[in-house]
Amino acid sequence: MTDIHNSESPRTATGLASESDLERLYTVAKTIQVCDARVQKEVKSGILKAAAYPVEGLSGVCAGLALALKSDDYLVSTYRNLGDVIAKGVPLRPVIAEIAGRATGVAKGKGGAMHIADSAYGLMTTTGIVGSGLPIATGLALSSLLAGDGRITAVTFGDGATSIGAFHEAMNLAAVWNLPVLFICQNNQWAEHTPTQDHMVITEIASKARGYGMQSATTDGFDPLATLEVLREAVDSIRAGGGPFFVEAVTYRLQGHTATADYSYMPKEDLEAARKTEPVGRLRGLLESSAALSTERLEEIDSQVLADVEDAFAFAYASDYPDQGEAYTDVFSNKTMEISA
Ligand SMILES: Cc1ncc(C[n+]2csc(CCOP(=O)(O)OP(=O)(O)O)c2C)c(N)n1
Ligand SMILES: [Mg+2]
């Protein structure tokens, strides 16, 4: 595997971010970690019947994105979406309710874990079709360019998605039309059972962007501060009219493709090495050792996060499932489908 996590990043100086940034970065990353762990635990035990893909290891990339984007910027995500959803500021209660298929969910319980979206927070769609988010993001960015609204559109996708046709079509068009898109490859080094080297001969995925004349950067996605800095530079460049920007965040998938999938094919030594550099623990260690945030403050944040996650699950499980009649509403954007007997 790519050993980007084994060398200490030169960009970890906490002086690069303000105290409130650091607090927010940690809070978002911790929330993603705790929420994901609870979702996966309940999926494994059968309490939660949902296709909710684990995001362990992505919390640093997602937290960086939370700080780099403005609240009205757009985001398009994938089935592995919980970190992105939390990063975009969608409240936990309707998110967990959606994963649990309850009527109080963001899509009234009709979308489920793979289709969480809430346009009020700029979370435009999440999709289970690998690579399909990129053309959607490119279209959203075109609409912003035509409207002159100053928004940028970010889109997240995996390493596997970069070997799909739609990826290349969207990247090319975004570059040709100089669209305000931030392409973020969450490179966890696996596409289901396939390691990256089995579906591409290059080792630096960001080099694909250069083939389209697009600016790009690679960051250690297990280093939240370094990733925040890279994402902010990319966003600044896009807002200044520099056109699309591609960021490859190198992470590692810390478990199987799904919560319940066998992952005995993943080399144990790679997994063990990657787990030692997991982003939340790494950020916490850095904040404590540099005295950027006190241990007491970090513990307060941890307690609040636990309480918020507990509250969201209690809210979800106390909510009703949608009525059967709801199956025929919200099918089209501005119409109610009428079914005749
Ligand atoms: C077009 C398409 N082909 C295949 C699949 C089945 N599939 C689901 S996830 C996945 C792996 C994608 O890997 P990657 O893009 O690296 O994302 P990751 O799951 O690692 O986050 C595949 C092949 C799919 N959902 N869509
Ligand atoms: Mg992957």
DSSP string, 241-285: II--EEEEEE----S-SSTTS--TTS-HHHHHHHHHT-HHHHHHH
d(CA 3, CA 6): 6
Instruction: State the pLDDT at residue 330.
Output: 87
pLDDT at 16: 63
Which three-class secondary structure state does DSSP give residue 118? Answer: strand
**Candidate from 93-97, 128-132, 332-336 with smallest mean pLDDT:** 332-336
- The alpha carbon of 166 and the centre of ligand 1 are apart by a number of angstroms equal to 13
Q: Are 73 and 30 in contact (CB under 8 A)?
A: no
Question: In the structure, which protein residues have their CB atom closer than 6 angstroms to any atom of ligand 1?
Answer: 80, 128-130, 157-161, 188, 190-192
Which ligand number lies closest to the CA of residue 167? 1
- Split at pLDDT 50, 70, 90, the class of 332 is confident
The closest-lying atom of ligand 1 relative to the alpha carbon of residue 192 is 11
At 214-270, the pLDDT tens digits run 999 999 999 999 999 999 999 999 999 999 999 999 999 999 999 999 999 999 999
For residue 53, how far is its CA from the centre of ligand 1 (angstroms)? 11
Domains and CATH numbers, the chain: 17-326 (3.40.50.970)
- Compute the distance between CA of residue 214 and CA of residue 256 in angstroms, rounded to an integer: 32
CA 192 to centroid of ligand 2, rounded, Å: 7
